[in-house]
Amino acid sequence: MARGVVRAGLVAVSLVWALVAQTAWADDVQTYVKAGSKAAGLEACVEPTDVMRRNHMELIKHQRDATVHHGIRTTKHSLAGCIDCHVSVGPEGRPVHINAEDRFCGACHSFAAVDVNCFDCHASVPKGGPLSDAARAVQGAQGAASGAAGQGIGGRLARIGGREEGQ
């Protein structure tokens, strides 16, 4: 009987210790927004923090499906929007990959032991800044000229891939 009481006491102490450790680790989760990112200067994300922590993957998947299957391109839950807001700048003044182990996505997913495969295809740093009016005008003129010269979707896809048709 004494052994049973001792074992029960050890189990109880172990459970309390595990609970304390989990609470300490959960408090650490709040530090994943990195200084130097747009997110660090904001009061809230596009949704409340608890919603984003638990459901961000569903929001991103829903956005992906709406874009790919229905052509609906919004930015509220886009992966590019997440990266643009949460990416931080390294010591040399360049964006640091968001999925690096000590950065926003990498740190939290590493903590949760989740394999993130978004960046197998998608860029993990923003692709340039917003275009100036002059650059947008040049891009629009080039797009109009190449659209008139293209032969349907194949021509557009070839140009997107950086190749001219026939090569």
Q: How far apart are CA 82 and CA 104, in angstroms?
A: 10
> What is residue 11's predicted lDDT score, i.e. its pLDDT?
76
Whether residues 167 and 102 fall in one domain: no
Whether residues 94 and 109 fall in one domain: yes
- Could you report the per-residue pLDDT of 8-67, keeping only the tens digit for each? 777 777 776 766 556 555 555 555 788 888 888 888 889 998 899 899 999 999 999 999
Whether residues 78 and 138 fall in one domain: no
Whether residues 141 and 158 fall in one domain: yes
Structural domain range at position 152: 131-167
Q: How far apart are CA 124 and CA 98, in angstroms?
A: 5
- Quote the pTM value: 0.54
Q: How many CB atoms lie within 10 A of CB 125?
A: 16
Whether residues 145 and 125 fall in one domain: no
Whether residues 3 and 25 fall in one domain: yes
Report in angstroms the alpha-carbon separations of 129 from 16, 81, 159. 49, 12, 22
Whether residues 44 and 98 fall in one domain: yes
Percent of the chain with pLDDT over 70: 67
More confident residue, 114 or 165: 114
Q: Mean pLDDT lowest for which of 21-30, 86-95, 103-112?
A: 21-30
Whether residues 26 and 36 fall in one domain: no
Q: What residues are paired with 89 via a beta bridge?
A: 95
User: Using an 8 Å Cβ cutoff, are 70 and 64 in contact?
Assistant: no
Q: How far apart are CA 115 and CA 106, in angstroms?
A: 9
Whether residues 60 and 108 fall in one domain: yes
Looking at the structure of the chain, the number of domains it has is 3
